[in-house]
Structure 1
Amino acid sequence: MNKKPFASLVTPTYNWPNALELLLLSIKNQTILPNEVIIADDGSKPETTELIKDFQKDFPVPIIHIWHEDNGNQKPKIMNKAIAKAKYEYIIEIDGDIIMHPNFIEDHLKYAEKGTYLFGSRVNIQKEKLETIFKDKTTYFHFFSKGIKKRGRTLRIPFLMNFAKKIAIRSSKLRGCNMSFWKDDFIKINGFNEGLVGWGIDDSEMIQRLHNIGIQGKRLKNTAIAYHIYHKEQDKSHIEINHIIEKETTEKKISFIEKGVNQYL
């Protein structure tokens, strides 16, 4: 297997310190730590800053807090700013409402290879469980845990990765809450597309451009297990515009976008 890369873990967040706290606690439990954690903060109120400052006091790796003013959903912009600041060669991207299995980082690093990005799935923590997990600061779940959906995905079976094949076409199973890629590849395609509007499609549109330059995907099945904390669905009123942009990216094989990460490098 390849030598494990050095990694920056990057997570977007917006005004949900309860979820961010569980995410940060789950990083502390990792069998292999990332080399740094970058929080891409899309304009949260001071409670989030206070929480991050508390964790920074004794966290085992540096936590970098990148914040900009709240101006509606600007996830592509804050993610570009955050990844531009990343010191390390490999980017592991998760959402700010994810609790990681203890082997999550280890699995992403183990299967990282040049010319490839990785994507995993998620187990859903249901709404009725939220009060308990926030009160008890729960970061450990398993197949028999109450209040979870898709429990088959809780089973970590690394042996099955021996049969995982690379794919040249973007998978419909891709989720931005659990993926990783090389920073160099991200820069080649100019990162996330800030021309997208509102919530959604930013991850899949970016990954499509990776495919357009010949980067292949590999799915992390029964490894890199992530637990997603329930929240209400985001406003999708603009999503059709984003679908049109993504379709154009796919059909015209667009690889480099105008408004991207190069503004911050």
Structure 2
Amino acid sequence: MLISVIVTTYNRPDALAAVLRGLLAQTDPDFEVIIADDGSTDATRAMIDGFRPLPAGGPKRLVHAWQPDDGFRASAARNLGVHASKGEYLIFLDGDCIPRPDFVARHRLLAERGFMVSGSRVLLSERFTAQLLSQQPPAAIHARRFSYWLLQRLAGHANKAIPLLSFPNSRLRHYRSVKWSRIKSCNLAIWRSDYAAVNGFDESFVGWGHEDADLVLRLARHGVRRKGGAFSTEVFHLWHPENTRATESVNRKRVEERMRTGLIRAEIGLCDHPAAGERVIA
């Protein structure tokens, strides 16, 4: 089964390069990388081109799916990324979240029909992130042992370490109900058929906030249950200044309103791609 890792990015090529190095180090090579670019400048495209050609034994494809910079449109970027992908199973990853070498393998292990898998992240400090991105050659933190991360936790450079321990796949990971709280699209896996059935992310959500909660609610109405990926699929989230949350209350209100409706398919979504101005470079 081919897995598509959809990596969202916007004008942060140094962080994206660290993520790509983590993806090139995966133990499971049966996947492709789709960069879902929300309008970055040519610096990001040049960085991506620097990873071509892909090494033998690495991902099957590296695709740059770019849309014009027209404000914060993460939903549209992800839908474009899925449109450009070929995998049967989708893993959404943010371009500042570094995966461990078994990230794809762990998601493959947890993949189960009728379920989406919501993973979690380890937040890194501003100082640690700056040191990491400035090192030459870059530090391969994705390959560090648990003891290293325990020390970083004690030093205040990481917000947690215990979830880096791996627990087995079991029915204990099945949520009894699907809640839209604490869903992070920076580490979320969905079957392509389920994603298409709900027309993907709803692009009427613009600006920061809650487009991922809306997706999960609609997937739940489609019959997809939630499965926990914690203690298995953690990623390392590089520090960055918080995005403006001016749209949060509007988007949150829209999700709360939709909780009282039976909407399943996005108003504007996956089926609206390709769109004018978009580029897909494989």
Please, what TM-score do these two structures have when normalized by structure 1?
A: 0.93
Residues 165, 218 of structure 1: 8 Å contact kept: yes
Give a deviation string over 1:216-240, Cα, whole Å, max 9, x none. 0001121012110011111110111
**Amino acid of the structure 2 residue aligned with 1:202:** E
Please tell me whether residue 27 in structure 1 is matched to residue 37 in structure 2. Answer: no
The Cα of 1:161 is off from its aligned counterpart by 4.4
2:228 to 207, 216, 219: 219
Q: Which runs of 5+ in 2 are unaligned?
A: 275-282
User: For 1:169 and 1:70, how far apart are their aligned partners in 2?
Assistant: 33
Count of residue pairs the alignment pairs up: 260
User: For 2:12 and 2:239, how far apart are their aligned partners in 1?
Assistant: 12
Residues 22, 98 of structure 2: 8 Å contact kept: yes
**Amino acid of the structure 2 residue aligned with 1:134:** L
Distance 1:210 1:113, change over 3 A: same
Give a deviation string over 1:37-75, Cα, whole Å, max 9, x none. 000000101110000001122342211000111111111
User: For 1:42 and 1:121, how far apart are their aligned partners in 2?
Assistant: 23
Distance 1:167 1:108, change over 3 A: farther
Aligned twin of 1:248: 257
1:181 to 185, 190, 194: 190
**Amino acid of the structure 2 residue aligned with 1:114:** R
What is the alpha-carbon root mean square deviation over aligned residues?
1.6
Distance 1:34 1:200, change over 3 A: farther
Aligned twin of 2:200: 191
User: For 1:129 and 1:154, how far apart are their aligned partners in 2?
Assistant: 18
Distance 1:139 1:207, change over 3 A: farther
Q: Which runs of 5+ in 1 are unaligned?
A: none
Residues 89, 183 of structure 1: 8 Å contact kept: yes
**Amino acid of the structure 2 residue aligned with 1:243:** R
Aligned twin of 2:127: 128
Residues 2, 86 of structure 2: 8 Å contact kept: no
Choose 9-18 or 31-40, whichever is displaced more. Answer: 31-40
The Cα of 1:113 is off from its aligned counterpart by 0.9
User: For 1:131 and 1:243, how far apart are their aligned partners in 2?
Assistant: 32
1:172 to 146, 165, 181: 181
2:65 counterpart SS class: strand
Residues 209, 252 of structure 2: 8 Å contact kept: no
Please tell me whether residue 144 in structure 1 is matched to residue 151 in structure 2. Answer: yes
Alignment of 1:67-146 (within 5 A): 67-136=66-135, 137-140=138-141, 141=144, 142-145=149-152, 146=155
Residues 9, 34 of structure 1: 8 Å contact kept: no
User: For 1:158 and 1:33, how far apart are their aligned partners in 2?
Assistant: 22
User: For 2:180 and 2:8, how far apart are their aligned partners in 1?
Assistant: 22
2:113 counterpart SS class: coil
User: For 1:9 and 1:29, how far apart are their aligned partners in 2?
Assistant: 14
Please, what TM-score do these two structures have when normalized by structure 2?
A: 0.87
User: For 1:34 and 1:15, how far apart are their aligned partners in 2?
Assistant: 28
User: For 2:207 and 2:164, how far apart are their aligned partners in 1?
Assistant: 31
User: For 1:24 and 1:121, how far apart are their aligned partners in 2?
Assistant: 19
